[in-house]
Structure 1
Amino acid sequence: MAANEVTRTELTALEKSLCEALDPLASALRARATELPEDQMWRADPVDVSLTVLAGWKVVDSAVARLTERAARTAGSYGASYEQLGAAWGMTRQGARKKWPDAVSRPAAAAEAGAVELFGGTAELFREPSSGGWLWRGRGADGVHGAADGSPACGTKEEAAAYAGVFLKDHSGGPSDPDGRP
Structure 2
Amino acid sequence: MTSTEITQEERTELEKALYDALNPLASAIRSRESGLPEARMWAADPVDVTLSVLAAWKVVDAEVKRLTAVAAATAGSYGASYEQMGAVWGITRQGARKKWPDAVTRPATAEAPTGATLKLFGGVAELVQDPSSGGWTWAAEGADKTRGGAEEDIWYATKEEAAAHAGAFLREHAADLS
Tell me the TM-score normalized by structure 1: 0.58
Which structure has the larger Rg?
1
Structure 2: distance between partners of 1:91 and 1:8? 24
Tell me by how many angstroms 1:35 deviates.
0.8
Unpaired segments ≥5 residues, structure 1: 110-126, 132-182
Which residue of structure 2 aligns with residue 145 of structure 1?
none
What is aligned with 1:38?
Answer: 38
Alignment CA distance shift 1:130-1:39 (3 Å): closer
Structure 1: how far apart are the matches of 2:75 and 2:6?
21
- Percent identity between matched residues is 66
Q: Would you say 1:59 and 2:59 are equivalent positions?
A: yes
Q: Which residue of 1 aligns with 2:92?
A: 92
Q: CA separation in 1, counterparts of 2:5 and 2:38? A: 39
Query: What is the rounded CA distance, in whole Å, between the counterparts of 1:96 and 1:45 in structure 2?
Result: 42
State the alpha-carbon separation in 2 of the partners of residues 16 and 83 from structure 1: 33
Higher RCO, Cα 8 Å, sep 6+: 2
Deviation at 1:89, TM superposition (A): 0.8
Residue 39 of structure 1 and its aligned partner are, at CA, apart by 3.2
TM superposition shift of 1:42: 2.0
Structure 2: gaps spanning 5 or more residues: 115-178
Correspondence 1:22 to 2:19: no
- Residue aligned with 2:67, SS: helix
In structure 1, distance between residues paired with 2:15 and 2:103: 28
1:102 aligns with 2:130: no
Cα distance in 2 for residues equivalent to 1:99 and 1:15:
26
Shift of 1:130: 7.4
Cα gap change, 1:64/1:27 in structure 2, threshold over 3 Å: closer, same or farther? Answer: same
Between the aligned partners of 1:128 and 1:52, the Cα distance in structure 2 is 55
1:129 offset after TM fit, Å? Answer: 3.6
User: In structure 1, how many angstroms separate the alpha carbons of the residues matched to 2:39 and 2:22?
Assistant: 17
- Quick check: 2:27–2:39 contact (8 Å CA) kept in 1? no
- CA–CA separation in structure 1 for the residues paired with 2:113 and 2:69: 32
Hey, what does 1:170 align to over in structure 2?
Answer: none
Distance 1:39 1:74, change over 3 A: closer
Q: Which amino acid aligns with 1:42?
A: W
Q: Please, what is the CA RMSD of the aligned residues?
A: 1.7
Report the TM-score, using the length of structure 2 for normalisation.
0.59
Which residue matches 2:48?
Answer: 48
Quote the Cα distance in structure 1 between the aligned partners of 2:3 and 2:39: 44
Write the deviation string for residues 91-139 of structure 1: whole angstroms up to 9, x where unpaired.
1111101100010100012xxxxxxxxxxxxxxxxx54479xxxxxxxx
Between 1:36-45 and 1:62-71, the stretch displaced more is 36-45
Mapping of residues 1-182 of structure 1, within 5 Å: 2-109=2-109, 127-129=110-112
